[in-house]
Amino acid sequence: MSVFTPFPLPPRPTIPALSVNIREHGAQPGGEVLNTAAIAAAIDSCSLRGGGRVVVPPGLWLTGAIHLCNHVELHVEEGAELRFSQDPAHYLPVVYQQRGGIRCFNYSPFIYARRCHDIAVTGSGILNGQGATWWPWKHAQPGMVHLFAANRERLPVEQRVYGTPEHGVRPPFLQAIGCRDVLVEGVTFLNSPSWTLHPVGCENVTVRGVTIKNPPEAHNTDGIDPDGCRNVLVEHCHVDTGDDAICLKSGREPDAWDAGSPCENVVVRHCHVLAGHGGFVIGSETAAGVRNVLVHDCTFDGTDIGVRIKTRAGRGAFIRNVQVDNVSMRRIQKEAVLVTLRYGGEALDGAVGELKDVPDVRDILLRGLRCDHAGTAVRLAGLPGHPLRSIRFESVVIHAGEGLVQEDVEGLVLKDTTFEAS
User: Which among 181, 225, 243, 363 is annotated as catalytic?
Assistant: 243
- What's the CA gap between 290 and 286, in Å, rounded? 7
- For 140-198, the DSSP string reads S-HHHHHHHHHHHTT--GGG-B--STTTT-PPPSEEEES-EEEEEES-EEES-SS-SB-
* Cβ atoms of 155 and 105 closer than 8 Å: no
- What's the CA gap between 271 and 208, in Å, rounded? 9
- What's the CA gap between 198 and 202, in Å, rounded? 10
Nearest to 246 by CA among 262, 265, 263, 222: 222
Q: Is 219 a catalytic residue?
A: no
- What's the CA gap between 197 and 186, in Å, rounded? 13
- What's the CA gap between 14 and 347, in Å, rounded? 44
Nearest to 338 by CA among 282, 401, 298, 288: 282
Torsion, Cα 368 369 372 373, to 10 degrees, reads -150
Nearest to 266 by CA among 286, 242, 296: 296
Which residues, 6 or more positions from 53, have their beta carbon under 8 angstroms from its beta carbon? 15, 18, 19, 20, 46, 72, 73, 75
Q: What Å distances lie between residue 417 and 295, 328, 367, 394, CA to CA?
A: 19, 15, 9, 6
* Cβ atoms of 407 and 385 closer than 8 Å: no
* Cβ atoms of 400 and 371 closer than 8 Å: yes
Bridge-partner residues for 99, per DSSP?
102
Where would I find the H helices in 283-410? 351-354
Nearest to 139 by CA among 252, 220, 197: 220
Q: Is 277 a catalytic residue?
A: yes
> Which residues carry out catalysis?
243, 277
